[in-house]
Structures are given as C-alpha cells and as structure tokens.
Amino acid sequence: MKILYHHRIASKDGQYVHVEEMINALSNLGHSVFVVSPQISDEKEFGSDGGMVAKLKKKLPGFIYELLEFGYSFYAYFKLCNAVRKFSPDVIYERYNLFQPAGIWVKKKFSLPLISEVNAPLFEERARYNGIALKKLAKWTECYVWKHADAVLPVTNVLANKVMSCEVNNDSITVIPNGIDPEKFNDAPSVEDAKRDLGLAGKTILGFTGFVREWHGLERVVELVAAGDEQLFLLIVGDGPARESIEKRARELNITARVRISGIVKRDKIKDYVSAFDIALQPDVVDYASPLKLFEYLFLGKAVVAPDKDNIREILTHNETGILFDPSVDKNFIDAVSRLVNDDSLRKNISASASELIDKKCLTWENNARRVIHISESLISDGVDS
C-alpha cells in the first residue's frame, strides 16, 4: 500500500517518537510511506523544541501566531497536492493538529480516504494551558477535521468520547493506544547489570523518565527516600523545570548521594536506565493521554505506580499489573510507592504480570500499523464519500 503520511511536528520529543515509530512500523510491513512534514534535522538532540516555530510562539501575539498556523495549512495543501500527483497514494494518514484542515481539503480534491490520528483534544488543551485567541476558528478546524476524516484514531477511549462531542460518527472511530518496538528493548540489560553499570548495585531504585514538572510531585519521593532504608534511591531520567526544586529538597534532607537526575538521555540509551528500576513512577498523567513511558516500563517488567484514572485503567489493572492510587489525595501517591517498597512479594508479582501485558494486549507499533492497514483496506474497498 502507498501511504501519504502528513504531520506538522517540528520538535524532537514524545510526539516525534510516535511519528517515527509509526512510519517505521508501516515501512517494515512492506508499505511505501511518503512523508509531508516540516524538516527535522537529524542533528537535533532528543528533547529539543520546535526551533524557530517555538521562538515565534513565544514572541508573537497569540492571534498572529494562530493566523500563521492556519496560513501554514495553505502551504501544506499545495505540498500535499504535489505529493499526491507524484506519489499516487492509496490513503492519507494525518496526525491531527489544530488549525490544520489541509489534509481534508486534499482528501476532497482527490477523493482519497483520510485517516486522522488524534493524540489530544488540542482545542481544549491549548485553551486550558496557553489560551486561544481565535477560538471560533480553532474549534471549527478541530471539528471539521474529525467529522470529515474517513477514520479517526484516538489513543484512548477517554479521548474517543471527546472526539464524539463533535458529532463524529461512532463507526468511524477506532481507539489505538501508543505502543513499543520490542526490538529496540530486547537487548536491554538485566536489572543487576543495569544497576552495576550505573554504579547503583544493591540499591532499591525508584525511577521516573521524562520531562520533570512541578505537578509530578517528585519532591515527595525525595522525602520518602530520606525516611527509608539507606539502600532506597531515586533515579530520574530526564530534565525539566522541577529539577532545581527536587535537588534543593535532596540537599535540605542531606541525601544528595541518594538522588540522581541524569539530564536528557539519548533515546536509544533510555533502556539502560529504566532497566535498573525496581519501581517505575507515573505520578500523574493527562486524563486523555496514552503515555509512552508506561509501555516502556511494562515491557521491561517494572512494577508501576500510576494514578487511578480512566485512561490508565484502559491498560493497567490495580494490584495485578500495577498499583493505582487516587490522585485527588496528595498522600496516596507516596502511600502506593511505600507499599511496593515494603512488599517484595507484591513487587515481584506485579513486575512479572507487567512484562506479559505488552503481548497480551498487543501493545506494539507493529500491531498498530497492522490495524491502520486493515482500516485503510476497508476504506478503499468500501469507497469514500468526498
């Protein structure tokens, strides 16, 4: 199959990982993928932002930046039209973004089926955290894309319900969560080897990967480490605005030797750190997200502590494949972590169940790609209504 893959991601972060993994999975299954997107330099470090785009967003008034976003759709439209003429795709696969109706315009022009991958309700998300100046235009583009796509692929059922709020036909919605490429993790070191390589042999390691924010509450984990056994250790793989406060709390409690923040780690090296974890921390999660780190924790057989939210329950079962806590009460997170720290048998049982979950639920990028191909073939055989 020939797939025209369209996205607007300019940063090299979790979004980029999803895009790259899906393209690789589709290609590995023998399909031809032609990508239309902003240029991302191979020299960019993992974790880098959108470069000039990010700078413009900070400096320009909101309504001007949003007009530029919408204006980009006209540029993307011509790029997509040229790609269709050159590549003659069977289907368009588009990662949904706000102010981006270009894919739908091209779908209508060429009577091609279009699949819209949805990772977040961006109108709601941006309105809440950054504000939106052109609210009517933003909401129109979101609903316009979702309603006119031939298939919509949200990453959680929670997100699917938000898509349906735009009066999208339920039959066109298929939930496909994020996944993992086992081949990239099959050579991960054992727990003992990973700890030894990091100079942490004999430690009981509480681990976290990702961008560290204040609302993660990892300062409380520092306090737990300080109150616990001398072998208890906090390993944070990543960086972020909360780093300073975490390190400050460790200094205040005189346990700087038992807390380590690695800084940004290259994508292919993350497994060397996560393999050392005894307990993997997911302190919080956006209500509709499908967190990439969760699948990595599970594949590597980590006992996960995560908030008891609908999107997490789509993957984890409390006391079986993870320990879930009520995030509405601050102390519940630390109580859940403490429970695993103090119960070796429970930790080992959950770790064993976690390592089997990826296969049981088919949570791989290859399986996701196969589902996309199946949907594409169904759309092609049924014909599309442009």
Report residue 13: phi and psi, to 5°.
-140, -150
Residue 326 has pLDDT above 70, yes or no: yes
Q: Closest Cα partner for 143 from 77, 207, 98, 174? A: 98
pLDDT mean over 14-19: 87
Say if CB 138 and CB 66 are below 8 A apart: yes
Phi, psi angles (nearest 5°) of residue 88: 50, 65
Q: What is the pLDDT of residue 175?
A: 98
Residue 206 has pLDDT above 80, yes or no: yes
Q: Do domains 2-179+364-382 and 183-361 have the same CATH topology?
A: yes
Read off the pLDDT of each residue in 197-204 and give the average, rounded to a whole number: 97
Instruction: Please report the pLDDT score of residue 61 as a whole number.
Output: 84
pLDDT in the model for residue 51? 56
Q: Kindly list the distances between the CA atom of residue 370 and the CA atoms of 25, 29, 93, 175, in Å, as whole numbers in the listed order.
A: 9, 8, 14, 14
**Could you tell me the CA-to-CA distances from 66 to 60, 98, 135, 141, 293 in Å, in that order?**
9, 9, 10, 12, 31
Q: pLDDT band at 214, cuts 50/70/90?
A: confident
Q: How far apart are CA 280 and CA 296, in angstroms?
A: 10
CATH for the stretch 2-179+364-382: 3.40.50.2000
Average pLDDT rounded to a whole number, residues 297-312: 97
The yes-or-no verdict on residue 40 having pLDDT over 70 is no
Give the whole-number percent of the chain exceeding pLDDT 90: 86
pLDDT in tens, 255-275: 999 999 999 999 899 999 999
What pLDDT is recorded for position 350? Answer: 97
Whether the pLDDT of residue 118 is over 60: the answer is yes
> What residues contact 349, with CB distance under 8 A and at least 6 apart?
none
Q: Which residue would you say has higher pLDDT here, 52 or 8?
A: 8
Is the predicted pLDDT of residue 83 greater than 90, yes or no? Answer: yes
Residue 210 has pLDDT above 60, yes or no: yes
Q: Which of 234, 233, 221, 353 is nearest to 298 (CA)?
A: 353
What is the pLDDT averaged over residues 168-179?
96
- What mean pLDDT do residues 160-181 have? 96
Report pLDDT digits (tens) over 119-150.
999 999 999 988 999 999 999 999 999 999 99
DSSP 254: T
The two three-digit tokens of residue 26, written as one number: 């589709």
Nearest Cα neighbor of 99 from 137, 125, 129, 151 is 137
Please say if the pLDDT value at position 41 is more than 90.
no
Do 132 and 66 touch, CB atoms closer than 8 A?
A: yes
* pLDDT, average across residues 63-91: 96
83 Cβ partners below 8 Å, 6+ apart? Answer: 4, 34, 36, 89
- pLDDT score recorded for residue 130: 84
Q: What's the pLDDT at 59?
A: 78
Residue 121: the pLDDT is 96
- Cα–Cα distance for residue pair 300/272, rounded to 1 Å: 10
Assess contact for 379 and 323: CB atoms under 8 A.
no
The yes-or-no verdict on residue 46 having pLDDT over 60 is no
Question: DSSP of 34-77, one letter per residue?
Answer: EEE-----TTSPTT---THHHHHHHHS-HHHHHHHHHHHHHHHH
Whether 248 shows a pLDDT value over 90: the answer reads yes
pLDDT given at position 42: 53
- Three-class secondary structure of residue 106 per DSSP: helix
Q: What is the pLDDT averaged over residues 190-206?
A: 97
pLDDT value at position 45? 57
Measured CA to CA, the distance from residue 145 to residue 116 in angstroms comes to: 8
As a whole number, the mean pLDDT across the chain is 93
The whole-number pLDDT of residue 129 equals 85
C-alpha distances (whole Å) from 206 to each of 129, 165, 259, 274, 304 are 30, 39, 10, 10, 10
The class (CATH top level) of 183-361 is alpha beta
Does 5 have pLDDT greater than 60? Answer: yes
pLDDT of residue 58: 72
The full set of domain ranges for the chain reads: 2-179+364-382, 183-361
